[in-house]
């Protein structure tokens, strides 16, 4: 129960990890509770018990695990995390003035000497290693930022995990639509097998099931894709670098290159 409470209490866990898992289960939970919940209070109690015993945690863990796996594939395709890409001299996401300003601020605030365009061109891997280390250090120093930066981090995590759960979500929505048509008596076992006229008055349970399932299916199919995750990643990167001016200055440190990944 303590673990479940922590999941619900923490805004990142709740919005970026728990919510995608619950949205996958929603098309099946709605008809289950609407059709059988009132008639069988024990069922409602069992669903609540499962949630308290770890179903919520399990859904969040699955969403996170699939999300991290997807992120590894996306990073390989993109050629790096958005925070790394944005700092590269050869990338054009940031204008040259802002990029130079952020490079200078990283050197002044974090004590990390940033590579020049020539140094980056001569050794891209070493330059990326420095960008990754600088970004990691910047994240460490801004963990207490609970305002816009946290919101953008949550948005990125939510979009990433929703995309990772997309195949499961689509199957769940299709099952929800099928079951909604069954309880609305649009689909029947006995002839006639298909009665579309019943859609005019599907009933509360069927109506909620169909509405929820179709709305979520539209979201899975039309919005949550790789470009949306990439866009959220670059927005987060921009907000992260905008935190540099408010950091206290740091004495220059000798940079030691280590193989890390942001």
What pLDDT is stored for residue 51 in this prediction? 56
Residue 193 structure tokens: 């097998």
What pLDDT is stored for residue 50 in this prediction? 56
CA distance 224 to 112: 36
Give me the number of domains the chain comprises. Answer: 1
Q: Say if 202 falls within a structural domain.
A: yes
Residue 87 structure tokens: 């700092």
pLDDT for residue 252 is more than 50: no
Q: Say if 164 falls within a structural domain.
A: yes
Q: Say if 239 falls within a structural domain.
A: no
Q: Say if 73 falls within a structural domain.
A: yes
**pLDDT, tens only, 174-191:** 999 999 999 888 888 788
**pLDDT, tens only, 59-106:** 888 999 999 999 999 999 999 999 999 999 999 999 999 999 999 999
Q: Say if 32 falls within a structural domain.
A: yes
Q: Say if 167 falls within a structural domain.
A: yes
Quick check: 64 and 17 in contact, CB under 8 A? yes
Quick check: 110 and 138 in contact, CB under 8 A? yes
Binned at pLDDT 50, 70 and 90, residue 260 comes out as: very low
Phi, psi angle pair for 194, to nearest 5°: -130, 115
Identify the H or E element spanning 140. Answer: helix 124-141
CA distance 98 to 92: 11
pLDDT for residue 43 is more than 60: no
pLDDT averaged over every residue in the chain? 85
Model's pTM, two decimal places? 0.83
Whole domain around residue 73: which residue ranges?
Answer: 2-80+156-231
Q: How many CB atoms lie within 10 A of CB 135?
A: 23
Q: How many CB atoms lie within 10 A of CB 38?
A: 11
**pLDDT, tens only, 204-247:** 888 999 999 999 999 999 999 999 999 999 999 999 999 998 88
**Residue with tokens 């709740």, as numbered in its chain:** 14
Q: Say if 100 falls within a structural domain.
A: no
């Amino acid at each position: 129960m303590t673990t479940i409470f922590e999941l619900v209490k923490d805004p990142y866990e709740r919005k970026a990890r728990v919510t995608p898992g619950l949205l996958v289960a929603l098309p099946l939970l709605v008809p289950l509770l609407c059709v059988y919940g009132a008639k069988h209070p024990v069922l409602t109690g069992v669903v609540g018990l499962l949630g308290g015993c770890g179903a919520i945690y399990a859904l969040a863990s699955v969403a996170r695990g699939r999300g991290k796996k997807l992120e590894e594939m996306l990073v390989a395709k993109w050629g790096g995390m958005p925070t790394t890409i944005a700092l590269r001299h050869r990338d054009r996401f940031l204008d040259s003035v802002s990029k130079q300003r952020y490079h200078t601020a990283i050197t002044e605030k974090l004590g990390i000497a940033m590579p020049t365009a020539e140094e980056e061109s001569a050794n891209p891997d070493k330059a990326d290693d420095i960008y990754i280390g600088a970004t990691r250090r910047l994240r460490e120093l801004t963990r207490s930022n609970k305002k816009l930066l946290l919101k953008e981090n949550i948005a990125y995590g939510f979009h990433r995990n929703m995309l990772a759960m997309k195949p499961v979500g689509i199957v769940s929505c299709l099952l929800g639509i099928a079951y909604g048509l069954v309880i609305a008596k649009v689909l029947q076992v006995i002839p006639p097998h298909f009665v579309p006229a019943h859609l005019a008055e599907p009933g509360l349970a069927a109506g909620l099931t169909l509405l929820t399932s179709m709305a979520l299916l539209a979201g899975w199919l039309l919005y949550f894709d790789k470009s949306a995750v990439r866009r959220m990643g670059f927005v987060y990167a921009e907000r992260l670098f905008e935190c540099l001016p408010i950091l206290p200055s740091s004495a220059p440190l000798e940079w030691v290159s280590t193989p890390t990944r942001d």
